Amino acid sequence: MATSGLQHVAAMYAGVVAPPLIVGAAVGLSGTDLTFLTGACLFTAGLATFLQTLGIWKIGARLPFVNGVTFAGVAPMTAIVASTKDKADALPVIFGAVIVAGLLGFLFAPVFCKAIRFFPPVVTGTVITLIGVSLLPVAFNWAQGPNPAAHDYGSPTNLALAGITLLIVLLLRRFTRGFAKQIAVLLGLVAGTLVAIPFGVTDFGAVTRADVVGFPTPFHFGVPQFHIAAILSMCVVMVVSMTESTADMLALGEIVERPSDERTIAAGLRADTLGSALSPLFNGFMCSAFAQNIGLVAMTRIRSRFVVAAGGGFLVLMGLCPMAASLIAVVPRPVLGGAGVVLFGSVAASGVQTLVRAGLEKDNNVLIVAVSLAVGIIPITAPGFYHAFPDTARIVLDSGISTGCVTAVLLNIVFNHLGGGREAAEVTHPMEPGEELAPATP
């Protein structure tokens, strides 16, 4: 149970620590505070995993689910940070928005089960793709270095370290099997850090200053603040997160031969949302199911929820050990960038896989994906596009995930649910060479 639980932790560790690293860097946290934030996210991921696997009352799917910080919230949270004048208030604003979104999601979990038909693969695939695409610029910035003002930002050395790390991860994925293949990203981070030591870009100060035992003190970064624009943005993220979790529960139910019915999905969503609402109390972010661990269950055929609960126990212990949490702070930013290309690119690729099942032979679905992706990519390709809008509105507009999700849902309703649409129409295409126009019917 212990070794299998550790394997689940290894498979999702890089995914859990990436969001606090991104948001912490955007806020400008010190190494000590960044270590604290990372430990808090590990601790709250463990608590959320307990809720999901063991369950209490009508809370928890009681399936072998690992919960952790969702990638879907990263872009909206960095948008909140960018729009907050005093960066010291950024994390309290995020925490307040996550608490409200989590509580609302908890209340609407039973209703959401019935509204899942408005989130078919054409919507969820578009949103997951946008999540990955929105995060890729973060990896590219990491690859250049930690400080844009530094003289070595974007230097050949930094880019080489990122490239070497990427190459190591790819080689591990290609030539290893089983456990080593599952933790290729984690092994790549370790190897990349070792390679970076001779270049003098590795700082072990965070580890030497960290305590062996600690506790994520509630409200360490300040009392939560409640801003309506930030709340709206995180509510959109909560809808995305609940949609992903529902899809994951359906898939996992088939794998463990216990199909997820409406009651199971509602209980699982309650665990996700309650875990998210409680997470900010201990300085953590929004939590959701980790899809990569579903693949691990399918591969190992170990279907016990208590094994995953053991993994949650290890996450809690790591969160209570600042020294363990500080290890990620040792990894140079270019090394993180190299691994991030694989990590974030895989998220986008999983979205594309979902779109493959979305029925893109239908003209309506192609339009939904095309327009939603275009709207969602605006903040990435044209960062100043919404500069004339108020700061409160830009918190939502500057998040491509939020705007892309709303666009996809609305277009799906218009084209595929309201009357008058050409639901069965196939994709139109240009004529092939040699084809002739059919004569007009009199």
Q: Summarize pLDDT for 31-46 with one digit per residue, the tens.
A: 778 888 888 999 999 9
pLDDT band at 293 (very low <50, low <70, confident <90, very high): confident
201-216 burial, b at 16+ Cβ within 10 Å, e below that, comes to bbeeebbeebeeebeb
Average pLDDT of the segment spanning 351-365: 83
pLDDT of residue 429: 43
In a domain, 284, yes or no: yes
The mean pLDDT of the chain is 82
272: pLDDT strictly greater than 80: yes
Number of domains in the chain: 1
Mean pLDDT on 263-280: 91
How distant, in Å, are the alpha carbons of 30, 267, 336, 341, 345 from that of 139? 20, 35, 7, 6, 10
Which has more pLDDT, 254 or 2? 2
**Residue 425 in domain:** no
CA distance 136 to 10: 22
Looking at residues 191-220, what average pLDDT do you find?
82
Q: What is the residue type of 38?
A: T
Residue in the structure block whose two tokens are 């979790």 = 245
CA separation for the pair 411, 417 (Å, rounded): 9
pLDDT band at 149 (very low <50, low <70, confident <90, very high): confident
pLDDT at 60: 86
Token digits of residue 198:
């001779």
Residue 437 has pLDDT above 60, yes or no: no
Sequence letter at residue 327: L
Q: 119: which DSSP letter?
A: S
- Coil, helix or strand at residue 436: coil
The set of residues, in sequence order, having a beta carbon less than 8 Å from that of 54 and lying 6+ positions away, is: 60, 62, 305, 309
Report in angstroms the alpha-carbon separations of 213 from 39, 41, 433: 11, 16, 72
pLDDT of residue 152 exceeding 50, the answer is yes
Q: Is residue 440 part of a domain?
A: no
Q: What is the mean pLDDT of residues 16-36?
A: 84
Question: Which of the pair, 413 or 426, is modelled with greater confidence?
Answer: 413
Amino acid at 343: L
Determine the pLDDT at residue 262. Answer: 81
Q: How far apart are CA 423 and CA 421, in angstroms?
A: 6
- What is the pLDDT, as a whole number, of residue 435? 47
pLDDT of 427? 47
Q: How confident is the model at residue 131 (pLDDT cuts 50, 70, 90)?
A: confident
Q: How many CA atoms lie within 13 A of 383 on its CB side?
A: 7
The mean per-residue pLDDT over the stretch 37-58 comes to 90
The average pLDDT across 421-442 equals 46
Give yes or no for residue 370 having a pLDDT over 70.
yes
In a domain, 424, yes or no: no
Q: How confident is the model at residue 441 (pLDDT cuts 50, 70, 90)?
A: very low
Length of the chain measured in residues:
442
Q: Are 58 and 273 in contact (CB under 8 A)?
A: no
> Does 183 reside within a domain?
yes
Helix or strand holding residue 69 (H, E): strand 67-69
The domain in which residue 128 lies consists of 2-416
CA distance 414 to 421: 8
CB 75 within 8 A of CB 131: yes
Alpha helices by DSSP H, listed for 115-155, are 121-144
Residue 254 has pLDDT above 80, yes or no: no
CB-based contact 43:216 (threshold 8 Å): yes
- Considering the chain, what percentage of its residues have pLDDT values greater than 70? 89
The pLDDT of 179-208, averaged and rounded, is 81
Q: Is the pLDDT of residue 64 over 80?
A: yes
Of 13-17, 163-167, 265-269, 281-285, minimum mean pLDDT range: 13-17
Residue 437 lies in a domain: no
More confident residue, 99 or 423: 99
Q: How far is CA 208 from the centre of its chain?
A: 30
155-175 exposure pattern, b = at least 16 Cβ within 10 A, e = fewer: eeebbbbbbbbbebbeebeee
Give the C-alpha separation, 24 to 78, whole Å: 9
Q: Please count the other Cβ atoms lying within 10 Å of the Cβ belonging to residue 390.
A: 11
Q: Are strands 67-69 and 287-289 parallel, antiparallel or unpaired?
A: antiparallel
Helix axes of 228-255 and 400-416: crossing angle, nearest 10 degrees: 70
